[in-house]
Amino acid sequence: MKELKYCPNCGKETLSYVNNRKWSCSECHLSIYNNVAAAVGLVTIIEKDGVNNILLIKRGREPKKDYLAVPGGFVDPGESAEEAAGRECYEEIGLVPDRITYLTSATNNYKYNEIDYITCDIFFKATFKGSDSKNFLLKLKAEDSDEILGFELYPLTKKEDINSIPLAFKSAEVALSSLFK
């Protein structure tokens, strides 16, 4: 993590990082907590030819460009996790789920511009009407084509199948593994 030195309150070079939890100013006693950021992910199972597949996006930007991820992203201020899941899903695949149900949560380290964002990733299982249709993948369209390079289905019949997926984030592995508990 980049080191913060100058206190935003008094302007002096008196900040120190305490217990991997907060920055504290020895001069004016300001504390700045290093709280986690909330993010969401949507695990979508698509049945194709009698096999359950996981819908994944191919990332078009760093971090982890060209790796696969479940659709998702950060929770915006004033937004619930469920609202963020619907918004992010629409932005990344062009559809809003008909139903989402809580699946699991996991910690993640999201490195962006040399800054480590420690997140709590909240995963939901998403269902869509018509997802068993052969034309379902044709309906998918990312709002930002630079962010999402494409969509892929990976067969997921046993927990070991997860190892063959080039996942961008460890937290997605936790989420997919939870399907087998």
Number of Cβ atoms within 10 Å of the Cβ of 21: 11
Q: Which spans in the chain are helix H?
A: 81-93, 170-178
- Cα separation, 123 vs 101, in Å, equals 9
Backbone region of residue 36 per phi and psi (left: phi > 0; alpha: psi in -120 to 50; beta: other values): beta
- Cα separation, 181 vs 179, in Å, equals 6
CATH for 37-178 is 3.90.79.10
Contact (CB, 8 A) for 1 and 115? yes
The full set of domain ranges for the chain reads 1-35, 37-178
- Cα separation, 137 vs 131, in Å, equals 8
* Per-residue pLDDT tens listing for the chain (181 residues): 557 889 999 999 999 988 888 999 999 999 999 889 999 999 999 887 788 899 999 999 999 999 999 999 999 999 999 999 999 999 999 999 999 999 999 999 988 877 788 899 999 999 988 777 677 888 899 888 899 999 999 999 999 999 999 999 999 999 999 999 8
